[in-house]
Amino acid sequence: MSSDLVLRKHARWEGVRGPLVLAILDGVGIGAGDEADAVKLARTPTLDRLWAPGVRTQLRAHGTSVGLPSNDDMGNSEVGHNALGAGVVHEQGALLVGRSIASGALFESACWRELIECCRRHGSALHFLGLLSDGNVHSHVDHLEAMLDGAARAGVRKLYVHVLLDGRDVAPTSALTYIDRLESFLAGLRAGGADARIASGGGRMVVTMDRYEADWRIVERGWHAHVLGDGRRFPSARVAVETLRGEAPGIIDQDLPPFVIGDAAAAIAPIVDGDAVVMFNFRGDRAIQISRAFDDDDFTAFDRVRRPDVRYAGMMEYDGDQHVPRRYLVTPPQIERTMGELLARTGVPQLAISETQKYGHVTYFWNGNKSGMFDDATETYVEIPSDRVPFEQRPWMKAAEITDRLVDELRTGRHRMARVNYANGDMVGHTGNFDAALVAVETVDLQLARLLAAVDQLGGALIVTADHGNADEMFQRKKDGSIERDKRTGLPVAKTSHTLNPVPFTIHDPARGDRYEIDPARADGAGIASVTATCLELLGFEAPSELAPSLVRFR
């Protein structure tokens, strides 16, 4: 075993006596404290109690602090858990893809050239499938337009886009803004001689973008719409959205059902033999399953009816261990020596637990985009199956069941370190339902009280933080910071995306006495990557020098 993967004992701190538990309150940031802030307005006696002087601070969880292009980019769960687990800020997908396009490297890659040659040789179509958005969390419309233009310039004459509508990382009913922009761009390509059109679509939460195999029916709906051309047909994407909204008043973009562009006779562009397909999402979690549907020979998740013989490529390699997909355009960041690996190589027993919606975040993303365990003997991963109902209808989600299992596991004495994700603040926050978000935050607070009692009983310590904000800002804001209101009703306009707000960080360790405290100088401007070194030191180890500095100062 490489010696640089084995942690050294801390010179001045023997480590907490009991288990160290890191609780990640997904989507629970520190907001403005006004009427938009469901975190502040929720009843949270446990969080209030934990927010104690000397062991609390705020951490940055967006922009360059988590490897995104600029500080105007909101954080997200993928990059947040990469940073929390690695302790080092790595340049992430949005930045890497943007740079590859700007430099021309993407268009010179062997994968891109293969796709273009396939289409030119056979006169076949190049399909682009992905999230139509500028949220910069899963994708960016700029990347799509650059590739459409690059393909047209390279001589591809059939260009079709299968649009997944956002309303989650952007305004909840903004789909037509992006559709109109794309239609205008495609019209320009048609003027240059290409047949460039939108071919199918649907809302991201019901079509194609499932994750962690929570509900393969979502991917199956997408397969039928995009590949088979099987679905309700409309003459255009705009007509589809307007019609579907009219039939379900109040529906937001992420929940729109699948649609196919065509007429009574046929869809305009199903995916057929000889075509090429690019999944233009750069984020992996919601792109893996559709990639498997295209790539896997022994696929059994649903009946594909027919599997076209196509060249399929992802924007990036979405799973580096399983090599999904087989082809990709941009090399993802190489994340090594994560907290999970360092603890495993040092022989420290550790537990990772969450419900399905965030299970991959405390495992796959935490471990640097790697599937599986580093050491089966010392690691335990627990997935609590998520419900298959809209999150606003059951905002408590599986927080109680997670806590039940976590407390039981801690009481076995097997685990020196545990990490847990409570998904409520994020998943319910994305619905835009303020009342449900209040319940979500209060649910997590109640479970923290149960967890806190167990940790105290075991003589351990509890760290509470988050990966990014969401429920802390449930209403849209104008440029001047005031809350945007509906002109007709006067009510605040719902916000479904993440925020740019900092996240809390606090340590509960009754046995610490005056042995350590959070160092204000280190905490000033620090990002969530500093959580790794902090955890390692509290466990009684020296933090490797390449990590973002620990937040604690020992006396």
What residues are labeled active site? 77
DSSP assignments along 17-80, one per residue: SS-EEEEEETB-----SSTT-HHHHS--HHHHHH--TTSEEEEB-SGGGGT-SSTTSPP-HHHH
N- to C-terminal Cα distance for the chain? 33
Backbone phi, psi, residue 328, to 5°: -155, 160
Residue whose structure tokens are 């195999």: 213
Q: Which of 424, 514, 507, 410 is nearest to 470 (CA)?
A: 424
Residue 18 and residue 24: Cα distance in Å, rounded?
19
Residue whose structure tokens are 């997590």: 444
Q: How many CB atoms lie within 10 A of CB 39?
A: 31
Residue whose structure tokens are 């998904």: 423
User: For residue 60, what are its two tokens?
Assistant: 């940055």
In 3-state terms, what secondary structure has residue 206?
A: coil
Count, residues in the chain: 555
- The residues pairing with 331 across neighbouring beta strands, listed in sequence order, are none
Left if phi > 0, otherwise alpha if psi is -120 to 50, otherwise beta: which for 323?
left
Residue 462 and residue 500: Cα distance in Å, rounded?
25
Amino acid, res. 137: V
Residue 319 and residue 364: Cα distance in Å, rounded?
9
- The residues pairing with 324 across neighbouring beta strands, listed in sequence order, are 319
| Pairing between β-strand 126-132 and β-strand 158-165 as defined by DSSP bridges | parallel
Q: How many CB atoms lie within 10 A of CB 161?
A: 29
Contact 256, 175 (CB under 8 A): yes
Contact 352, 70 (CB under 8 A): no
Amino acid, res. 482: S
For residue 33, the number of C-alpha atoms closer than 13 Å in the C-beta half-sphere is 0
Contact 399, 360 (CB under 8 A): no
Backbone phi, psi, residue 309, to 5°: -85, 95
User: For residue 84, what are its two tokens?
Assistant: 């929390």
